[in-house]
Chain A
Amino acid sequence: MSVAVAKRTSSGEPAPSTEHRVWGRLIDMLGSRGWILLVLFLVLLVAASIVPDVFAPHDHDTQNLRARLLGPGESSSEGLHLLGTDSLGRDLFSRMVVGTRLTLFIAVTATLIGAGIGVLFGLLGGYFGGRTDRLLMRLGEAQTAMPMFLVAILLLSLLGPSVGILLVVLPCLVWPIFARVVRAEALRLREETFIEASIATGCSTSTILGRHLLPNVAPRILVLCVVEIGHVMLSEAGLSFLGVGVQPPDTTWGLLISEGRPLLAVAWWLTILPGVLLGISVLVLNLLGRYWEARSGAAG
């Protein structure tokens, strides 16, 4: 046909590959050494979540009513508050450092669980085909058809918001992406001659899937994981912001934004700065994922 519509699935969206070009441009702009900066940023984040005390200049929970709502760069008797303080005089930078651990933990764990489910379902769909495949795919389709964010709010409110429940709800949002990639690869592999050869030499289907399929999709899955960690971070932040995610006294960047919101007019930094950090992290993860994809040719 003449119309170059990126062929779309029955309820999905245009082929995701079209999106890569935009990222491709950005990756070009990064230059050949740019990824070092990206990795450095992530290393800092991971370090901050392992040993927050090294990075945090103040105790994140110490209240200091005489140093309330200090702006970025102001000092109290405790010393410099790089990013200011909140309404209880707690140091924002230290709180962001401390929040890194849970933010990363939830995003990484939820993504890995989602990836696990997705890979499993994708393999099952590709392995059994037919009815199982269609059932699993329809399940995935339900994700697009439903306002999943509302469903997530309902589930969290039914089960009571907690980190544990978040680790159940968030994977539900990401597994279809992984399932789709693995399933597509499984379907493609079935047509390949070397698979036919393996069948002819008596390999069982599960051996084939394990030995040929997983190594084939592993690079793409890893790239997807990196990118999806960013998306899960955004989802967690959204749910925490709405009060159905992480609950105080635990803290994540999303929760910090939420806590700062009532003071937006008087202390903008409490809301804006954690969001900037979150945005940069998501961007870095995205860029790194696509960079890796472009370099390894894992785009498939």
Chain B
Amino acid sequence: MGMQETTATTAPSPQSRRGRLLRWLPDRLAAEGSLGGLLLRRLRDGVIVLLLVVTVIFFLAHVVGNPALVFAPVDATDEHIDKIHRQFGLDRPVTERYWEYLVDLSRLDFGESTWQQRPAIDAVTEALPSTIYLTVVGLGAAAVLGVIPGIVAGARARKPFDKASNLASVAALSVPNFWLGLLLILLLGVQLGWLPTSGRFETASIVMPALTLGIVHGGRIFQLVRSATFEEMSKPYVTVARSKGLTEWNILRRHVVRNTGVTTATIVGWEYVRMWGGAVFAIEYVFAWPGVGLLTIDAAHRQDFFVLQAAVIIAGAFVIFSNLLIDMGYQFIDRRIAAT
């Protein structure tokens, strides 16, 4: 999907370097290089991001649209909508409602699902483990499909395997991920009948959606790992290792992989966050995998605003949290290595 990365805030702008602006405590701590400070700052940034999203949602629902219509189920009558209007106190000023909205959210009260007749958060927390399961298995598949060929292609650059795997990775990234899922269903499910193609009813159900995720994200991991390995292979110490009489395989195993290890681990870690940016949800829909993506899309079709909102916010919080963990883990390892 077209979701992309953004830039750093870590690089101090000239202004902040001059110290003209009052810096927040986390900024100062992070600038001093303490891990705790960095963690605090990233937490704060995460909360700001969530707040921003929540505000946009509120603004769209309450200011741009008619909230009563938004909250009502698809088949609501006029009478029903009037009732909702009273029930939610929608005649009160927007600022008051906004505050109330924030208070509700902070209590994890995301409203009542109009479609499932239960708290929206329940529907989401029920679906979340399925998505986490799928993303973790999918990441495993992506790592296997991306890292090993990436190392081999990088080490044997410009050889047939490198060319072929480059082409494959580029193809995997150029086709729509949901289409890739459909293609796999056609080949492995319909034609060969090897694997279940929808739902989550048996252990093997995970294979196809995870494989699809694995191919899409493995393509990216492949490209990054290949570049990292290639770069490492052109370093002088590799020539030295060759001049010692080591075989290419031993050079790769004993020297190169050791040096690209941290890079590879982080590449895979970031890919996990990327997975939540899009692919997994469409793939859930394709395979009817009962996760947050399927829930969200069903909720969208049924105009169930509260479930939609809960899904976005909870999934968002999850992504922010895992992103933070990965960053911290990376920083930790990096500093350990720098220290030795």
Contact = CB atoms under 8 A, between A and B. Distances in A.
A116 interface: no
Contacts of A180: 6-7
Interface string B57-94: 10011001100001000000000000000000000000
B3 A143 contact: yes
Contact of B166 (A22, A134, A261): A22
Interface in A119-171: 129-131, 133-134, 137-151, 153-159, 170
Contact of A25 (B8, B163, B185): B163
A151 B179 contact: no
A130 B136 CA distance: 39
Interface stretch (A6-14, A74-82, A84-92): A6-14
Chain A: interface size category = 35 or more
A272 B231 CA distance: 37
A264 B190 contact: yes
B207 to A, nearest CB: 18
B1 A234 contact: yes
A138 B44 CA distance: 11
Contacts of A151: 53, 312, 316
B108 interface: no
Interface in B184-232: 185-186, 190, 223-224, 226-228, 230-232
Interface string B30-60: 0000000000001001101100110001001
Contacts of A179: 6-7
A282 interface: yes
Nearest to B42: A10
B273 A144 contact: yes
Interface string A179-194: 1100110010010000
A261 B190 CA distance: 13
Contact of A173 (B4, B65, B70, B315): B4
B337 A242 contact: no
B262 interface: yes
A242 B231 contact: no
The winner among A158, A280, A282 for most chain B CB atoms within 10 A is A158
Interface stretch (B111-119, B247-255, B298-306): B298-306
Contacts of B53: 142, 146, 151
Nearest to B180: A275
A8 B228 CA distance: 13
Given A264-B190, A279-B175, A22 B170 contact: yes
8 contacts: A18-B231, A25-B162, A148-B278, A150-B293, A151-B53, A157-B308, A158-B60, A238-B282
Interface of A: 1-6, 8-14, 16, 18-19, 21-23, 25-26, 29, 129-131, 133-134, 137-151, 153-159, 170, 173-174, 176-177, 179-180, 183-184, 187, 190, 228, 230-232, 234-235, 237-238, 241-244, 254, 257, 261, 264-265, 268, 271-272, 275-276, 278-280, 282-283, 286
